[in-house]
Amino acid sequence: MNKQNFELTPRELNVTRETLKGKSTKQIADSLFITEHTVKAHLKNIFTKTGTKRRIELISKLFAIILENNISDSQLNTAINSLILYKK
């Protein structure tokens, strides 16, 4: 897969990052100090720009891009461990 540039805004990147952490719309809104309506609007824009329709599809697409761009095993382990530790 070629490197992709989805041209997300800085705020859309923040929402994407929080989505990857498994946060709900309310949790994202609280952590970014915005309304749930604004989070939903950002997610709609993110889905359009990335060609996805749901959060799980977005997450899967982003992880596929990461894996196809040959990140090192240690970087992958760090990312996975960070996600696991975040959930505890």
**What are the average pLDDT values for consecutive 10-residue runs of the chain, which has 88 residues?**
74 94 96 98 97 95 84 76 61
Which pLDDT belongs to residue 86? 55
First to last CA, the chain: 33
Closest CA to 63 of 43, 48, 80: 80
The answer to pTM > 0.75 is yes
Q: Which domains are seen in the chain, by residue range?
A: 10-87 (1.10.10.10)
